[in-house]
Amino acid sequence: MNARARVADHEFAPLLQRQAHASLLRFIACGSVDHGKSTLLGRLLYETKQLLEDQLDALESDSRKFGTQGDELDFSLLLDGLAAEREQKITIDVAYRFFATARRRFIVIDAPGHEQYTANMATGASVADVALILVSADEGVTRQTKRHAVVLSMLGVRNIVLAVNKMDRVGWSEMVFRGMDAQFRDFAATLGIDAVASIPVAAKSGDNIVSRSDHMPWYDGQTLLEYLETVQPARAAGQKPFRMPIQWVSRPNPRFSRL
């Protein structure tokens, strides 16, 4: 081993040791279609400096070809990798990404929001410790939002962070945010979920994702990353009953019969 390699090992050893002992959090991002899940997760990866130079180059290229944000980066393309997803502008399959910060390791599960793919969302939720539910500020809590919350409650997920996204579309209104927070908390209480944290965000511009937003001085709570780095799931993964995620079911005909 040459001197340069020994220096590199010496510099990285403390970081590797911290990462080895850091806790692991699995969280799923869900909610209605077009409420911004993939964009938020892509922005989170970008803001936490998880992307390599070649990945940034690919994102710039893909944004020009498939993006919906004009000349700006389309962060949703970091998670929506299937050709059909990029053509239809929706998430279809569950996407898993690993990333780490100085405080914690994460496995993020990007779930589809369309009603047709709710079964795929349930697959991802079956291994999640925490759920991130996105609600678009200009659309509010929808039937699919509630459906996803029901699925989460059935699978034993008790910690939910409600991200009220696209706050820029409602003029960064505190009243809109408080109203959606109260509405969702009331519904979550009927499901036995009381560990709800609500955060107003704008995924496209990065407000309250990693850094605190200047547009919402009325909000003094945690940013999304601060929440994810500090939340303690109500029930550890090792204590849950065994679940085997099923991603695909193949059957000979709609009647499930061999004839």
The pair phi, psi for residue 137, each rounded to 5°, is -60, -30
d(CA 128, CA 126): 6
163 falls in which pLDDT band (50, 70, 90)?
Answer: very high
The top-scoring range by mean pLDDT among 20-24, 53-57, 77-81, 139-143 is: 139-143
Six-digit token string for 20: 């080895």
Q: What was the pLDDT predicted at 101? A: 92
pLDDT band at 79 (very low <50, low <70, confident <90, very high): low
Question: What integer pLDDT is reported at residue 39 of this predicted model?
Answer: 86
Closest C-alpha to 138, from 170, 163, 114, 162: 170
Angstrom distances, CA of residue 6 to CA of 2, 33, 217, 239, 241? 6, 50, 48, 41, 45
For position 243, what pLDDT does the model report? 63
**pLDDT band for position 246 (cuts 50, 70, 90):** low
Q: Which two tokens stand for residue 136?
A: 């678009």
Break the chain into its structural domains and give their ranges. 22-48+91-232
Cα separation, 109 vs 111, in Å, equals 6
Residue 167 pLDDT class (50, 70, 90 cuts): very high
At residue 26, the pLDDT reads 94
CB atoms within 10 A of CB 212: 15
Question: How far apart, in whole angstroms, are the C-alpha atoms of residue 163 and residue 259?
Answer: 48
- The tokens of 157 are what? 């997920």
Listed in sequence order, the residues at least 6 apart from 158 whose beta carbon sits closer than 8 Å to its beta carbon are 192, 193, 195, 233, 234, 235
Confidence (pTM): 0.77
Average pLDDT over residues 5-31: 67
CATH 3.40.50.300 correct for 22-48+91-232: yes
Mean pLDDT taken over the chain:
81
How distant, in Å, are the alpha carbons of 175, 180, 195 from that of 144?
23, 15, 20
**Whole-angstrom Cα distance, residue 128 to residue 194?**
17
First to last CA, the chain: 66
For the residues 223-248, what does the mean pLDDT come to? 74
8 backbone dihedrals φ, ψ, rounded to 5°: -60, -45
Residue 237 has pLDDT above 50, yes or no: no
